[in-house]
A and B are shown apart, each in its own frame.
Chain A
Amino acid sequence: MIIAERKPLGEIAMMVAPHEKVTVIGCRSCVAICLAGGEKEVDTLVSAMKLKSMNEGRTQYFDGFVLERQCEKEWVKEVEDKILAADVVLSMSCSLGAQTIGDLYPEKIVVPGLNTAMFGVPEEQGVWSEKCLGCGDCIIHTTGGICPIARCAKSMLNGPCGGSSNGHCEVNLEIECAWYAIYERLKLQDRLDLMDTVRPPKEWSTSHSGGRRVIVREDAKLTPHQIRGKEASL
């Protein structure tokens, strides 16, 4: 899932400072799981921001809502009136949610309350770690199910670098060395031969390096006829 982290309150306050009516919108999907932008986080943020304006003796209105999934237009439209009524929308979702609102209501100023950090997983309560970079060409079947592109600081393809120290990464000795982990996993699976293969340069064109990616599934797209029908039913 997408892992995000709340921005410092000072930074959020700066972004909303010029505006009077602030609509805060959270999301019940990934960012709720990573405790950044769910119901509770929206509540506490709204309270903290209200306290700040109170303390500074200014009038600023904060109103908080939480959507099922902020990156989908249908859900965003549920709070259309709240968005239209606001001077600024403070999105407590990942940047995808914030951008969905912005794209739907281009005249509205949308500011991010969270820093979208990574594709990751909850490791234990309160700990999230990065495990995928979205390179568009998954190879984990050859690396024991562990992604070296995301989990190695240097995205190495041919085994651990010379900084792998007691199974830890030279960049952060608290973090495991991805290739050490791959080696151990393949050893366990009796597939160490996969470590011997020379992997030629990676094709990065499937990643962001190939330009912004858009995936189209013709079979899933609505036909003009279906679109007309949908519009008629609204």
Chain B
Amino acid sequence: MKAGSNLEKVLEAGKFAVTAEIGPPQSSNPEPLTHHARMMKGSADAFNLTDNQTAVVRLSSIASAAIIMREDIEPVIQMTCRDRNRIALQSDLLGASAIGVKNVLCLTGDHQTFGNERAAKSVFDFDSVSELYTFDKLRTEGLQSGGTVIDDKPELYLGCAENPFATPYEFRATRLAKKVDSGADFVQTQAIFDMDMFEKWMDEVRSRGLDKKTHILAGVIPMKTAGAARYMKNKVPGMIVPDYIIERMRNASDAKEEGIRLCVEQIETLKTIKGVHGVHVMAVMWEEMVPRIVEMAGLLPRPTVK
């Protein structure tokens, strides 16, 4: 065990894991976090707290983690390289570890031109690979990036993201390999709509033996409307949504129900793909649906691993 988090225990025990995302609020009111935590408790093994997602200022992911931990649920903190240099990243990592956070997702981060602070100076001192590399050295050797060696090493379970649908496609498994080499224990993928393409990526991943070295959690997003599907297809760079999915959403008499059904079907398919060790449910602004989706996909109750 590297950190002994619940997520680590579930994955290392070979169980099919479930993680879900919670978006922190834009204000300092912790109530929405507590609300979501209570509502989603028991429906996933750990919950991602996004780090100023799409570069919109929100309550910090580490503070959010502290808040949901009061509800006795396990956080995965997301840490992007967009807003913090290596001093701040390492400092925040030590701080997060000190308050009991174990799961950390290393991300480069969405560029700030997408958010509500476009005048910001970008940092990008690290990219996600150098972040993983540094955090891994810190947990294994107590070595900071500047060379200082610390006594009490943080106990961390490190994750990363990967997008099989970004170009160049044939490089995407190599990129995952770099992240695995740098210390990624688990990976949460970009939302998958194009199963054929995902399977192709998984073939490449398996042929390199990456599924044996890291745990792949396949990302899914339940959609509320056909418009949302079209938006993701056309407006979100690096996302592929096949037309038949948009069609299906459009022809549905109840789009929300169809979105849920689609998501459950996707999870069913993903469960059968060799090397996929779990799913990551990103129900953006629709967190209340997570317990239902997980239940319909036959993934409840969540396992307890000692």
Residues of A bordering B, CB below 8 Å = 153-171, 173, 177, 180, 183-184, 195-196, 198-202, 204
* CB contact list, B113-153 vs A, under 8 A: 113-114, 122, 124-130, 133-134, 145
Contact of A162 among B82, B145, B161 (CB under 8 A): B161
Q: Give Cα A83–Cα B286 distance, bound, in whole angstroms.
A: 65
Contact digits for B47-60, partner A, Cβ 8 Å, 1 yes 0 no: 00000000000000
- Cβ-defined contact, A154 with B167, below 8 A: no
- Cβ-defined contact, B108 with A161, below 8 A: yes
Selected A-B contacts with CB under 8 Å, 14 pairs: A153-B111, A154-B82, A154-B122, A155-B127, A158-B175, A161-B108, A161-B166, A161-B238, A163-B110, A163-B238, A168-B237, A170-B237, A171-B111, A195-B174
- Cβ-defined contact, A201 with B166, below 8 A: no
- Cβ-defined contact, B134 with A165, below 8 A: no
Question: For residue A204, which residues in chain B have a CB less than 8 angstroms away from its CB?
Answer: 125
Q: Give Cα A65–Cα B138 distance, bound, in whole angstroms.
A: 59
* CB contact list, B98-115 vs A, under 8 A: 108-111, 113-114
Residues of B bordering A, CB below 8 Å = 81-82, 86, 108-111, 113-114, 122, 124-130, 133-134, 145, 161-163, 166-168, 171, 174-175, 177-178, 181-182, 190, 237-238
| Chain A, residue nearest B165 (CB) | A162
**Distance in Å: Cβ of B148 to nearest Cβ of chain A:** 14
Chain A contact residues, majority secondary structure: loop
Contact of B124 among A154, A164, A173, A180 (CB under 8 A): A154
- Cβ-defined contact, B126 with A164, below 8 A: no
Contact of B130 among A165, A183, A199 (CB under 8 A): A199
**Distance in Å: Cβ of B63 to nearest Cβ of chain A:** 25
Question: For residue B168, which residues in chain A have a CB less than 8 angstroms away from its CB?
Answer: 160, 164, 167, 180, 183-184
Q: Give Cα A156–Cα B129 distance, bound, in whole angstroms.
A: 9
- Cβ-defined contact, A158 with B177, below 8 A: no
Question: For residue A180, which residues in chain B have a CB less than 8 angstroms away from its CB?
Answer: 167-168
Question: For residue A200, which residues in chain B have a CB less than 8 angstroms away from its CB?
Answer: 130, 133
Q: Give Cα A164–Cα B163 distance, bound, in whole angstroms.
A: 10
Question: For residue A177, which residues in chain B have a CB less than 8 angstroms away from its CB?
Answer: 167
Q: Give Cα A163–Cα B162 distance, bound, in whole angstroms.
A: 10
- Cβ-defined contact, A201 with B237, below 8 A: no
Q: A155-B124, A201-B133, A201-B134 are in contact. Are A165 and B166 (CB under 8 A)?
A: yes
Q: Which 6 A-B pairs have the closest CB atoms?
A: A162-B163, A158-B129, A170-B237, A165-B237, A201-B130, A156-B127
